[in-house]
């Protein structure tokens, strides 16, 4: 009896699984929180395995003695071997925010979708489109076997219109950039791919970026670039943050404890911090400041997080707990986004290219900005008989920005062999021809092309056409700033000469930044198409012919001239860093130009706020963009829902489409904090209205943008007083509706 009882007990133990006897380790149990699983994984790791996870290796073949693709790597910006016995997948790391890149053709012939540049994405003012952009990035990364994307969350604020990387960023406003980045991060991570918020922080210029020291006060920093990151991190929850090349207040970003601790201590950030490629400068200082992973270690002077880290731990200079925490954060992110449970692998299924390209095109169509439309020259009539297309290789494609974000289009890019071929080049165009797309829209029209290098030929073509569309381009790339805001002299002369024919002239700009337009008054229309991505051709054509009513807005103020910007002179701007280094990115010593930048010049008053503070009138303000219809703001009513924990304010704006075309408007709500001299964007919403339609649209205002940062309290605060709130169609619009509201003092949680 007793024996059988015992038998029964033991058989019950076998048949009724309990956690203690479960065959499945904690980290495999998908019902448990990521934190618990990650902690168990770290406990199960050997010291060598832990060290293996904190360094990534460049995975691009650059020839003997340079770099090669490690065994097991898909081939891209980075690779960290996995730990099979624990089910930890290799980290297969790729660039980046505008599409999946293929540096040095490491994956032979592998093209991908290029999204439009950051100005366009932010210029849509539509977080939902940013989410879809993120899905494209995540989907195409996963399809190729990548599980870490070095992008999806570019939140550096545009402070200078010469910055070579502005085409990767999301404009000059923290609220807009933060919200767009957050939505994009979520889109990427919905595909089980880690997104990276980058570059943390203050990369306002590229010149001497490996050494330049960005100096900024705490309040100014928290209310500007760091606010964009705070929103991106809190709302987007990225798996990774990439620290930047530049120094911030004396310390390199990647060993700057103020910077690296801020997200972890103050924003509830649970992911890891990885470095930019070549941005690690130390072992002990970086590890103790909060760096979690050294990237592309061959770019650094030596491998800091390899044997040196092991020794530092043995000597007690870095605690074992710190290494555990680095590893914990990495595996936490892998689990949290689903990369652990759904490992990426190279798929042999066909991609849904059409769907991804349709999203790229939709973003371009919603974010390209119509700057000028004299006498409603646009949209062009489909009855038009003859069109002169001039310049910009518009017969072949659209320009792309250069550097690590350079995507290779499916079928390959069109390379301009007359220009720089080395990193950050080659100067490349995506094979999406605006001219072909135009011809497809007006099959009966004569559409002819003049390359633009022979001005007389272009003028003759324009004279024999009903309209001339001139494409003007300016290439921007990572690694250098432009020396000025000018198009090439040849392009300006070309546009001026074509304008003199007296024919209607529309200029389409494909640039990475605003440019001066000495011919502005002589042309009829100007479209800022930025770098519109792999479906840029049809997007431009659809806007020119009114298949799409433009609704993009400027997210960077367009200055009249450089004399208006906070840093009119950048020593060394225009010099291309390491242009002599073929194929391998090498970042050792740049030029000896600018060594520090005092960002307190504009401080928190970035972009349009700088112009307001200095009473400068730009050429076109932040938020500006024309439509083929007109909108009128009729009523603004504020609703306040403030209590101890909740500080929500809604601006209800009644807006009417007063024109005769359907179209979309971007309602922008600005406010002035008592005692401050400049307004800020408090909320925005894009609304689609049929011709003649009126709607009352609720626009949520973000409490953090009503607050200011108080360094001594280490927190945000809404101060008591009268707030002037206005609804505008751009940051300077004269048709603003205004109202005032009184708010009591309130602390907003950091
Ligand atoms: C860029 C990063 C990029 C990395 C890897 C660096 O040059 O600054 O944005 O992710 O290279 O290619």
More confident residue, 646 or 25: 25
Four-residue CA torsion sign, 310, 314, 316, 321: positive
Share of the chain above pLDDT 90, in %: 86
Q: Is 659 helix (H, G, I), strand (E, B) or coil?
A: coil
pLDDT value for 13: 39
Give the pLDDT mean for 578-603. 59
Share of the chain above pLDDT 70, in %: 94
- Does ligand 1 lie within 6 Å of residue 277's CB atom? yes
What confidence tens digit (pLDDT) does each residue in 220-250 have? 999 999 999 999 999 999 999 999 999 999 9
Residue of minimum CA distance from atom 6 in ligand 1: 277
CA of 209 to the centre of ligand 1 (A): 12
Exposed / middle / buried, residue 44 (Cβ in 10 Å: 0-12, 13-18, 19+): middle
| Alpha carbon distances (Å) from 317 to 293, 305, 324 | 17, 13, 15
pLDDT band at 407 (very low <50, low <70, confident <90, very high): very high
- Does ligand 1 lie within 6 Å of residue 98's CB atom? no
CA of 398 to the centre of ligand 1 (A): 23
Which of 92, 96, 246, 300 gets mutated to test ligand 1 (max ligand atoms within 8 A of its CB)?
A: 96
The full 3-state SS of 720-745, as one line of letters, equals CEEEEEEEECCCCCCCCEEEEEEECC
Residue 181 has pLDDT above 50, yes or no: yes
pLDDT value for 567: 87
The full 3-state SS of 41-85, as one line of letters, equals HHHHCCHHHHHHHCECEEECCCECCCECCCCCCCCEEEEECCEHH
Residue 18 has pLDDT above 60, yes or no: no
For the chain, what is the mean pLDDT?
93
Full DSSP string of 116-171: PPHHHHHHTT-HHHHHHHHHHHHHHHHHBT--EEEEEEE------TT-TTGGGS--
- For the chain, how are helix, strand and coil distributed in percent, rounded to 5? 30, 25, 45
Q: In 147-271, where do the E strands start and end?
A: 148-154, 194-200, 213-215, 240-243, 247-248, 251-252
Give the pLDDT mean for 709-726. 93
Give the pLDDT mean for 348-373. 98
- Does ligand 1 lie within 6 Å of residue 121's CB atom? no
| Alpha carbon distances (Å) from 630 to 55, 664, 666, 693 | 55, 10, 12, 11
CA dist 376 and 278 (Å) reads 51
pLDDT-wise least confident of 23-32, 361-370, 577-586, 607-616: 577-586
- Does ligand 1 lie within 6 Å of residue 95's CB atom? yes
Q: In what order do the strands lie in the sheet with 715-718?
A: 708-710, 715-718, 746-748
- Residue whose structure tokens are 């990439």: 242
pLDDT value for 309: 98
What confidence tens digit (pLDDT) does each residue in 101-145 have? 999 999 999 999 999 999 999 999 999 999 999 999 999 999 999
More confident residue, 588 or 388: 388
What confidence tens digit (pLDDT) does each residue in 185-234 have? 999 999 999 999 999 999 999 999 998 999 999 999 999 999 999 999 99
pLDDT-wise least confident of 50-54, 152-156, 396-400, 454-458: 152-156
Residue 622 makes CB contacts below 8 A (sequence gap 6+) with 171, 172, 173, 554, 555, 556, 557, 607, 608, 730, 731
CA of 208 to the centre of ligand 1 (A): 15
Query: In 3D, which of 56, 223, 46 has the Cα closest to residue 605?
Result: 223
What global pTM score does this model have?
A: 0.95
Residue 12 has pLDDT above 80, yes or no: no
- Residue whose structure tokens are 């600018």: 594
CA of 404 to the centre of ligand 1 (A): 5
CA dist 399 and 513 (Å) reads 13
More confident residue, 275 or 641: 275
CA dist 425 and 579 (Å) reads 9
- Does ligand 1 lie within 6 Å of residue 69's CB atom? no
Residue 582 has pLDDT above 50, yes or no: no
CA of 476 to the centre of ligand 1 (A): 15
Q: How many CA atoms lie within 13 A of 49 on its CB side?
A: 18
Give the pLDDT mean for 496-504. 98
Give the pLDDT mean for 521-538. 98
Q: Pick the atom of ligand 1 nearest to 296's CA.
A: 5
Residue 184 has pLDDT above 60, yes or no: yes
Give the pLDDT mean for 627-655. 89
- Does ligand 1 lie within 6 Å of residue 156's CB atom? no
By the 8 A CB rule, do 201 and 267 touch? no
């Amino acid at each position: 009896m007793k024996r059988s009882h015992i038998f029964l007990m033991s058989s019950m133990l076998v048949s009724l699984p309990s956690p203690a006897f479960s065959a499945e380790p904690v980290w495999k149990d998908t019902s448990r929180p990521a934190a618990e699983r990650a902690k168990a994984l770290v406990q199960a790791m050997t010291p060598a395995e832990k060290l293996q996870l904190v360094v990534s290796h460049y995975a691009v073949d650059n020839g003997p003695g340079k770099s090669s693709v490690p065994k097991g790597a898909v081939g891209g910006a980075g690779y960290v071997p996995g730990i099979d016995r624990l089910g930890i997948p290799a980290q297969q790391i790729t660039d980046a925010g505008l599409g999946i890149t293929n540096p040095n053709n490491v994956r032979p012939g592998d093209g991908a979708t290029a999204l439009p540049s950051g100005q366009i994405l932010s210029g849509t003012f539509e977080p939902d489109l940013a989410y879809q952009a993120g899905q494209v990035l995540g989907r195409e990364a996963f399809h190729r076997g990548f599980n870490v994307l070095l992008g999806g969350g570019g939140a550096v604020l545009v402070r200078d219109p010469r910055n070579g990387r502005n085409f990767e960023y999301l404009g000059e406003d923290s609220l807009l950039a933060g919200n767009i980045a957050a939505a994009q991060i979520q889109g990427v991570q919905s595909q089980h791919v880690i997104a990276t918020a980058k570059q943390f922080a203050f990369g306002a210029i590229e010149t001497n970026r490996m050494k330049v020291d960005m100096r900024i006060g705490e309040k100014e920093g928290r209310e500007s670039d760091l606010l964009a990151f705070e929103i991106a991190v809190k709302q987007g929850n990225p798996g990774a943050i990439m620290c930047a090349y530049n120094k911030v207040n004396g310390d390199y970003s990647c060993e700057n404890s103020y910077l690296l601790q801020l997200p972890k201590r103050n924003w509830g950030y649970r992911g890891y911090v990885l470095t930019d490629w070549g941005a690690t400068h130390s072992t002990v200082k970086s590890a103790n400041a909060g760096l979690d992973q050294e990237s592309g270690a061959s770019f650094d002077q030596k491998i800091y997080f390899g044997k040196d880290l092991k020794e530092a731990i043995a000597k007690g200079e870095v605690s074992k707990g710190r290494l555990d925490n680095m590893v914990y954060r990495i595996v936490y992110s892998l689990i949290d986004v689903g990369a652990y449970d759904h490992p990426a692998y190279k798929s042999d299924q066909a991609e849904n290219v059409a769907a991804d390209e349709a999203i790229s095109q939709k973003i371009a169509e919603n974010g390209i900005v119509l700057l000028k439309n004299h006498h409603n020259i646009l949209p062009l009539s489909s009855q038009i008989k003859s069109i002169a297309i001039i310049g910009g290789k518009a017969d072949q494609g659209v320009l792309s920005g250069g550097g690590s974000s350079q995507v290779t289009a499916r079928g390959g890019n069109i390379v301009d062999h007359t220009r720089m071929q080395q990193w950050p080049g080659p100067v490349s165009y995506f094979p999406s021809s605006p001219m072909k797309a135009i011809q497809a829209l007006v099959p009966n029209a004569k559409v002819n092309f003049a390359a633009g290098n022979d001005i007389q030929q272009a003028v003759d073509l324009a004279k024999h056409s009903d309209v001339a569309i001139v494409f003007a381009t300016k290439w921007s790339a990572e690694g250098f700033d432009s020396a000025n805001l000018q198009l090439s002299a040849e392009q300006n002369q070309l546009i001026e000469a074509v304008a003199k024919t007296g024919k209607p002239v529309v200029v389409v700009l494909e640039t990475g930044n605003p440019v001066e337009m000495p011919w502005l008054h002589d042309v009829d229309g100007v479209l800022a198409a930025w770098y519109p991505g792999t479906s840029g051709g049809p997007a431009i054509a659809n806007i020119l012919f009114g298949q799409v009513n433009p609704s993009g807005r400027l997210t960077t103020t367009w200055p009249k001239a450089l004399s208006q910007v906070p840093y009119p002179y950048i020593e060394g701007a225009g010099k291309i860093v390491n242009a002599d280094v073929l194929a391998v990115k090498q970042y050792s010593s740049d030029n000896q130009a600018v060594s520090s930048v005092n960002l307190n010049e504009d401080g928190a008053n970035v972009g349009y706020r700088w112009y307001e503070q200095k009473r400068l009138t730009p050429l076109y303000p932040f938020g500006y963009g024309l439509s083929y219809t007109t909108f009128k703001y009729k009523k603004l009513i504020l609703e306040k829902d403030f209590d101890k924990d909740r500080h929500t304010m809604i601006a209800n704006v009644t807006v009417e489409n007063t024109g005769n075309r359907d179209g979309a408007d971007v309602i922008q709500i600005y406010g002035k904090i008592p005692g401050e001299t400049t307004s800020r964007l408090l909320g925005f919403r894009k609304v689609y209205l049929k011709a003649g339609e009126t709607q009352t649209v609720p626009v949520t205002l973000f409490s953090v943008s009503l607050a200011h940062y108080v360094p001594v309290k280490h927190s945000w605060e809404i101060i008591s007083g009268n707030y002037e709130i206005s609804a505008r169609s751009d940051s300077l619009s004269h048709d603003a509706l205004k109202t005032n509201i009184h708010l009591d003092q309130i602390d907003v949680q950091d």
